Amino acid sequence: MSEFTYSKKIPEAFESDIAVIGGGPAGLCAAVAAAREGARVILIEKNAFCGGMATAGMVAPFMTCYDSGGNKMLIRGLFEELVERLIAVGGAIHPSKVESKTAFTSYIDKGHVHVTPFKAEALKIVADEMLREAGVKILYHTQLVDAETEGDKVTRLIVAMKEGLASVRAKAFIDCTGDGDLAAAAGAAYSVGNAQGKMQPATMFFTVGGVDTKKVDADIEKNWDNFYRKDGVNYRSLHWWVAKAKEAGDWTLDRVSIGLFRGVEEDEFSINTSRVMHIDGTKSESLTEGEIEGRKQVREIFAFLKKYVPGFENSRLILSGSTIGIRETRHIEGIRTLTTDSILNCEVPEDSILLAANSVDVHGKYGPKSNEYITIPEGKCYGIPYGTMIPPAFSNLAVAGRCISADCEAAGAIRVMPPCMGIGQAAGTAAAMALAENVDLRQLNVNRLRKKLTANGVMLENE
C-alpha cells in the first residue's frame, strides 16, 4: 500500500488527569473508580453509549461472578453495585437467584452457575448515571486514532470527533478498548490470538422475543439423557433439532447446537450461536465482512428456531448486535502475564487485584465446531496480578478488560464481563492513586491498592 504524510493543526480540545478510552465493562468501571478517588476523568467512547459488548454487541448474560462451586459471590465491588442498580430499575436478576441447568444458562451446568441476566437498555442508562454522579466527563461519538509519547510517558491522544480530529491530554491513560488500541498506538508490545496468531471466532448475537419458555424447558427435559457430554460440560443444547434441520437442508452453518440464554423477561432469549471464522477485530475491512456474514447467519438461525424448536413457533427477532461480537484480538504485554497454568492451578499471587473463577472458554480452537472449555476445580478461584495491567515500557499507562497481559487460554477465562469490570475498577483506582502519590504506575504500592479495593467492596480473600 502506498503512503503519504498528512499534517494538520488540530485543537487541543481536552485536558484531564486521567483519560479512559473505551466505555465497555472495563472502561465504565475504570472511569467511575478513578473519579470516585478524586481524579478528573474523561471517558472516550466511539459508540453513543457505554457497555461495549454488553450493549452494542447484545452479549448476555454477565457470566458467573461466583467461585467454581457456585457457593460464594467472588466478584463484587463496582460489578455488584451495577447489578444492584440494574435490579432497582427492573433491568437484571440477581445472580444468587439464577441456577445452572436452566434456560438462564443455556441449560449448561458447569461453570455457568449464578450468571446475571440483564437488559442492555437499562445498562446504557445506569452507566450514564454512574458516570455522571462520579463527575466523569463523557465523550461519546469519539474514536481514538493515535497517541503521542515522550520517553516512558503517553502524553496525548489523537481522537476523531464528529467535528474532526482533536487532541486529548492527560497525566495517565487507561486503555479499555478491548483491542488494546491505545497501547498498540503508543508502541507497547503485544501478541495476537493464540501461539499461532489465530484469534477466536466472532459471533453476531441477537435477541428473540415471544418465546414459550415452558415449551423449550419441556423439550430440553425430554432430551436430557442425550444432552450432556461425558465430562459434564454441555455445549449441545438443541443439537437434536440442529441434526434434523441439517438432514433436511435447513442448516448450513458450522455449528451443531444452539447457545440460548433466557433474559430478564420470560419470553426473551439471547442467542449466541453464529460463528464467523478468521475475522480480525482490529481491521475495518475484516469487521465489515464479519458484520455481513454474521447477520446472514442470524437469519438462518432464527428461521431454524421458528421452524424446528418447540416454543419458538410464535417468536420474533428483536435485534442483532450493532457490532459483531469479538472475543479476542491483542493481548498487551504486561510486567506480569496471566498464564493458563496459574489459572488451572488456582494460584492467587500476593499482588492479585481480583479473584475470579471463570472457566477457560476458547471457541473454535481446532476448527469451527470445537470449543475448549476447562472448568476451575470446585470451590476454587485464581488471582489476577496487578502487573497484567501494566505495559513495562510506560509509567502512566494501564490496560484493563479483555486485552490485559494473558496467554490465549487465560484470556479465554477472564474475558467475560464480571472479571473485566473488576479489572477496570482496579485499573481506575490504581491510576488515581498513582497520580495522587505522584508515582510511576509500575512502582505503585500494590498492598495499599489492595487495601483500597477491599474497602470499596472488592473481595481479595477466598476463605
Ligand X SMILES: Cc1cc2nc3c(=O)[nH]c(=O)nc-3n(C[C@H](O)[C@H](O)[C@H](O)COP(=O)(O)OP(=O)(O)OC[C@H]3O[C@@H](n4cnc5c(N)ncnc54)[C@H](O)[C@@H]3O)c2cc1C
Rule CB under 6 A: say whether 93 interacts with ligand X: no
According to CB under 6 A, which one of 14, 52, 66, 384 is a site residue for ligand X? 52
Which residue type does 329 have? T
Q: Where are the alpha helices (DSSP H) in 97-192?
A: 120-134, 181-186
Four-point Cα dihedral 208, 213, 217, 219, nearest 10 = -70
Choosing from 180, 401, 422, 428, the residue that interacts with ligand X (CB under 6 A) is 401
Q: Over 169-184, what HEC string results?
A: EEEEEEECCCCCHHHH
The cell numbers describing 325, all together, are: 461480537
3-state secondary structure of 387: helix
The Cα-based distances of 414 to 326, 408, 431, 442 in angstroms read 14, 10, 21, 22
SS3 218: helix
Out of 35, 39, 42, 59, the residue judged to bind ligand X by CB under 6 A = 59
- We find the least distance from the C-beta atom of residue 24 to ligand X, in angstroms, to be 2
Q: Is residue 156 at the binding interface for ligand X, with CB under 6 A as the rule?
A: no
Q: How far is the CB of 170 from ligand X (least distance, A)?
A: 14
Residue 52: CB partners within 8 Å, gap ≥ 6? 22, 23, 24, 25, 26, 27, 178
Candidate list 167, 194, 257, 272; residue touching ligand X; CB under 6 A: 272
Report how far apart, in Å, the C-alpha atoms of 252 and of each of 101, 246, 276, 291 are. 28, 7, 13, 18
23 forms part of the interface with ligand X (CB under 6 A): yes
The span of 76-84, 237-245, 410-418, 433-441 binding ligand X (CB under 6 A) equals 410-418
Tell me whether residue 58 or residue 214 sits nearer to ligand X (CB atom).
Answer: 58
Q: Which residue has the cell 428461521?
A: 303
User: Rule CB under 6 A: is residue 399 a binding residue for ligand X?
Assistant: no
**Looking at 76-84, 173-181, 297-305, 333-341, which segment touches ligand X (CB under 6 A)?**
173-181
Binding ligand X by CB under 6 A: which of 17, 45, 109, 409?
Answer: 45
Q: How far is the CB of 21 from ligand X (least distance, A)?
A: 5
- Find out whether 205 and 57 touch, Cβ atoms under 8 Å: yes
Q: Which of 14, 16, 17, 27 binds ligand X (CB under 6 A)?
A: 27
Q: Find the binder of ligand X among 19, 36, 39, 47 (CB under 6 A).
A: 47
The residues in 326-345 that bind ligand X, with binding defined as CB under 6 A, are: 326-327
- Give the footprint of ligand X on this chain (CB under 6 A): 21-27, 44-47, 52-54, 57, 59, 61-63, 143-144, 176-179, 181, 203, 205, 272, 325-327, 401-402, 415-417, 420
